[in-house]
Structure 1
């Protein structure tokens, strides 16, 4: 599992999330093994246009059950990891600062941070 940070905003909208979906779909196109599905919650920010971006790449869209955070455990876990390892130790001063912190953490997570499920290797290690 790799971490992808596509954007930062304090006021996400349907249009913004659709644009971020397009950015992510472009980035995922460079992977050797394409993803098979997208698990997302039922937030109103994710509309049909958001789903269409991924369905164009033959991804199956799976919506989590209402009010069921355990159904999306991988996302909840990585969100908690980001909070504990990065955001709890830094006072974020704005969107550009948040973008910088998250991009730095993304690099650390994918290239250097040990992952127990991978025998203490980062996701990008051979």
Structure 2
């Protein structure tokens, strides 16, 4: 890990770094007791996998970054399917998929 200083006279640079640091802090670290560095790394790695692969983003029209390039998925009638919930990080976050 290395420290990056924000450039002088760039007011938007600070907002981006605050967002980058604040989202995992609010969604994960404020609700988790971290035991040691290994636990922190494992927890942040799993959160990053969730953030990129499953979490919807408003800037991407409620798509996750892994879906953004492929476009929105086709609509599914949930009355005809069962939904499977997967607990992530001990139930702190849940991911939902159509059960096969």
TM-score, normalising length: structure 2 = 0.59
Segments of structure 2 that go 5 or more residues without pairing to the other structure are 71-100
Match of 1:94 in 2: 36
Segments of structure 1 that go 5 or more residues without pairing to the other structure are 1-15, 18-39, 43-62
Divergent runs of 4+, >4 A: none
Report how far residue 104 of structure 1 moved: 0.6
Report if aligned partners of 1:113, 1:122 keep a CA contact under 8 Å in 2: yes
The CA distance in 2 between the partners of 1:74 and 1:94, in whole Å, is 28
Bigger Rg over Cα: 2
Compute the RMSD of aligned alpha carbons.
2.3
- How many residue pairs align between the two structures? 68
SS of structure 1 residue aligned to 2:65: coil
Q: Which has the higher contact order (CA 8 A, sep 6+)?
A: 1
Match of 1:82 in 2: 24
Label 1:69 to 1:41 Cα distance change in 2 as closer, same or farther (>3 A).
farther
Tell me whether 1:118 sits opposite 2:54 in the alignment: no
Report if aligned partners of 1:69, 1:76 keep a CA contact under 8 Å in 2: no
Match of 2:49 in 1: 107
Which has the larger share of strand?
2
